[in-house]
Amino acid sequence: MWHPTRAKQQESDALVKNLGEVDPNLLEPAVMELYSYAIELTKDDLAEQEKVELAKRLTDPSIHRKTMGDF
């Protein structure tokens, strides 16, 4: 059964899993727009506290960010 809170959490988890390793400083402007768009789409469905938690997860220093050499 679909549950809105669980769906929001799954979206946030997927965003952190797929974009968490991306270093936004290395993105070209067009790609940075897509990166930001994906984050904004996810944030639009979240309550304020959930947005704060998502931001903390995306900027967690324990996440290994990919460098240019990783590609």
Q: Nearest Cα to 18, choosing from 66, 50, 62?
A: 66
Tell me the whole-structure pTM to 2 decimals: 0.77
* Cβ–Cβ < 8 Å for 27, 71: no
Domain ranges, residue 20: 4-70
Q: How many domains does the chain divide into?
A: 1
Q: What does the pLDDT look like over 27-61, one tens digit per residue?
A: 999 999 999 999 999 998 889 999 999 999 999 99
* Cβ–Cβ < 8 Å for 4, 45: no
